[in-house]
Amino acid sequence: MGKMIDLKAGDGHALKAYLAEPAERPRGAVVVVQEIFGVNSHIRSVADGYAADGYLAIAPAMFDRAQRGYESGYTQAEIQAGIALMQKIAWDAAMMDASAAVEAVTRAGKVGMVGYCWGGAVTWLAAARIPGLAAAVPYYGGAIPSLNGERPECPTMLHFGETDASIPLNQARAVAKSHPDVTTHFYAAGHGFNCDQRASYNAKAAKLARERTVEFFRKHVG
């Protein structure tokens, strides 16, 4: 359904991105920010899903700064490898790459962003730091509690799992309390509940979160 394209960040860094076009004229655009597993088959399928909903969807290869073309599965060894790559990407660099993706799809109209795991934290930062985003939807971003001082500048919706071992529930609730203007949803699920390739997948939570996200994008993006 989609294809790989080339992007250029503000500092000249070249990166790839997966672009999925909707069948009809786009109602807007959605940037999909990867987990620590790269732009793998799951992230491409998420982008395809938003294209099916009528959006021009783009998933930038945010790990290209550390290792080009990286994608993996979900074994413990691959999780460790992904964490090692994640630690090589500075937030400022991630913002430049995310901005390049936003710029690449502005032709479709307003631009929303959704991110998962590490990408959820990137999306949280983008809501505060990237001008012109129409909406942001971070899913279970592990670093969000440590970035609680950031102030989203666009409508933002957070999704957290109540049994997420990597984000203590009291910390997630503290984020929600600090940001009463942000819509926050909690699910009886663990980390990574949206990913149907992981043992932590929770079909009920994933479906509800996605319905809420699409409704949010319909309202703020188009």
Q: What is the pLDDT of residue 119?
A: 98
Asked about 191 being catalytic, the answer comes back as yes
Contact 59, 47 (CB under 8 A): yes
pLDDT at site 52: 98
Known catalytic residue at 42: no
Among candidates 118, 131, 53, 54, which has minimal Cα distance to 91?
Answer: 118
pLDDT digits (tens, 9 = 90+) for 107-131: 999 999 999 999 999 999 999 999 9
Question: Which of the residues 42, 159, 191, 220 is marked catalytic?
Answer: 191
Q: Which strands sit side by side in the sheet containing 56-60, from one edge to the other? A: 2-8, 14-20, 56-60, 29-33, 111-116, 135-139, 157-161, 183-187
Q: Which of 117, 154, 159, 195 is catalytic?
A: 117
| Options 42, 164, 195, 220, the catalytic residue | 164
Q: Burial code of 107-121, b = ≥16 C-beta within 10 A, e = fewer?
A: ebbbbbbbbbbbbbb
pLDDT attached to residue 1 = 75
The pLDDT assigned to 159 comes to 98
CATH topology of domain 2-220: Rossmann fold (3.40.50)
Q: Which residues of the chain have pLDDT under 70?
A: none
Q: What is the average pLDDT value for the chain, to the nearest integer?
A: 98
Domain ranges in the chain are 2-220
Position 53 scores a pLDDT of: 98
80-105 pLDDT per residue, tens: 999 999 999 999 999 999 999 999 99
